[in-house]
Amino acid sequence: MEFNIGPRMVKTGLAVALTLLITGMLGLDLEIVAAIAAVLAMQPSVMRSYNYIKEVVITNGVGLLLAMLGIFLLGSHPLSVGMIVIISIAISIKLGLYKTVSLTVLTIITLMLGNDDGLSLIYVINRLSLVTIGVLSAFIINMTVFPPDHQKNLFNMIKKASDKMNFLLRVLPNETMSIPQMKQEDREVEKLINEAHDYYEIISDERSRIFIKNRRSFYRNIIIYKHMIRVLSKKQTLIRQLEKNIKEMDAIPGDKSRLIKKLVKEINSYSENILLVYEKKIILNMDLQKETKAAMQVTINTLIEELQGAELYKWNFVFPVANSIIELFFELDKLERFVQIRELKEKKD
């Protein structure tokens, strides 16, 4: 059985340990509350940890107010606690503060239970300190231990998805993969694209972070990753259109099927070369690259000419695939320009 311990797991454990050490030094009771707060507050990036703390301030203020009202008006009966928790969740969702709902509930339960001597200022400070220590411990550990290389992580995700799709675009035109296997591959590709898109949202949050060393390079890469993910989406569309229409296209008389397979092969190589240039593994001959792109455009024009005057049923099979190829080609062309701009800017920097 595979057993992996990632950086986030380690950081969560360290945050809990730091929390327990601090609560132990201060002699605070219910240290388990602080430990739970540390676990809930561990975020995938430094900026998200910072934003999480800002949300905690708001939601904990709401939680404190509701807990005090609940104790004064309803007491500490379990039904009262449950009612206040429901109200607090509804308010948090209404305010759009989804991430800190669990922590707000924890704050309310901590304040409303275990208070036999009445609600005093010292009691409130003591209970809020537990949550504060847990959240700040998570932030400190997240900022200082194993700071994530988001750009490297995101590119690896994109590269993994791209490699899998390039493989599919090589085998699909030859119809050498079974339908069940094709469906499984399609699900895996969709999962990889979603993971890359979600991770892009994380790295995009880092744009306002003050700890970025080379801000210009960071911004350039953010734009490139955005277009790389767009390319992945366009590739997925092409793959699905090929799956759906390849058999019917092969049955159509003429040169259409051969032209499409030729384009798929050429555009696949074009896509691989752009990523290799980004990784600085190859240097493209720009004149040769222009000739390659011009040849692809000629093939596209030839395909369009082949389709002119064709019966409607032929368009029904060929057009979705041809359109997907054209959209992917123009998206790759934009991506290549951004990669070239990045290369020029890095030389000047």
Mean pLDDT, 10 residues at a time, the chain of 349 residues? 67 86 84 83 72 76 80 78 84 79 80 65 77 85 77 88 89 76 84 88 66 71 91 91 80 72 84 87 71 74 68 70 86 89 74
Other CB atoms within a 10 A radius of the CB of residue 151 amount to 16
Other CB atoms within a 10 A radius of the CB of residue 74 amount to 14
d(CA 263, CA 299): 7
Looking at residue 237, its amino acid is T
Q: Three-state DSSP class for 97?
A: coil
d(CA 216, CA 221): 9
The predicted pLDDT at position 1 comes to 44
d(CA 279, CA 13): 34
The predicted pLDDT at position 120 comes to 67
Q: What are phi and psi of 106, to 5 degrees?
A: -60, -40
Looking at residue 108, its amino acid is I
Asked if 150 and 202 count as a contact pair (C-beta separation under 8 A), the reply is yes
97-144 tens-digit pLDDT: 777 788 788 878 877 776 556 566 777 777 778 888 888 888 888 878
- Please enumerate in sequence order all residues whose Cβ is within 8 A of that of 8, keeping only pairs 6 or more positions apart, or say none: 42, 44
Asked if 220 and 341 count as a contact pair (C-beta separation under 8 A), the reply is yes
Asked if 302 and 295 count as a contact pair (C-beta separation under 8 A), the reply is no
Answer yes or no: pTM beyond 0.85.
Answer: no
